Amino acid sequence: MMMGEEIQFFGKYGMIHFTENNGMAFGMELGGSWGKLFLSIFRLGAVGAIGYYMWYLIKNKSHQGLVLCIAAILAGALGNIIDSVFYGVIFSDSYYQVATLLPQGGGYAGWLQGRVVDMFYFPILQGHYPQWVPSLGGDQFIFFRPVFNTADSAISVGVAVILLFQKRFFGTKE
């Protein structure tokens, strides 16, 4: 797919929308290539810490639900790191063309400089803000605007389940 191309599977309410994310959630970025390098190194450190925590939980026979949630968070973080580390090296740019695997002359970016591929888009409610709303009047409104990937979903679901079941996961031991 080319950047911005869409395949609808649930009408206008659910689609595969190909985009690439340069930085963090919602397209936020740290400045330039040094910011991207710092973000990638931070992600690698975070994955190491999450992996160690998961080992600790397993060693101490923690609640299986908590271990599964941490595993989902770890898998999601690893998925996004794989995109960031390798995609820039092994793919050509996907602007105005379908990306090429292992292009002659190398990929669009160096190690740890790649973009994360996002694809799921669910614009459930769409409309315009009423004219009387200050500074937003007449602007387009879309509820659930973020485009995300499977790794983002794994992280979000893992964190949400931990928050929902925290008393069961972290309750006092008898």
Query: CB–CB of 70/62 below 8 Å?
Result: no
Query: CB–CB of 8/15 below 8 Å?
Result: yes
Cα–Cα distance measured from residue 59 to residue 57, given in angstroms and rounded to the nearest whole number: 5
Distances (CA, A) of 119 to 26, 148, 150, 153, 160: 13, 6, 9, 11, 21
Cα–Cα distance measured from residue 62 to residue 70, given in angstroms and rounded to the nearest whole number: 11
Distances (CA, A) of 128 to 17, 123, 135: 22, 13, 13
User: DSSP per residue over 64-84, as a string?
Assistant: HHHHHHHHHHHHHHHHHHHII
* 152 catalytic per annotation: yes
The single residue of 83, 93, 118, 139 carrying the catalytic annotation is: 118
* 118 catalytic per annotation: yes
Catalytic residues: 118, 152
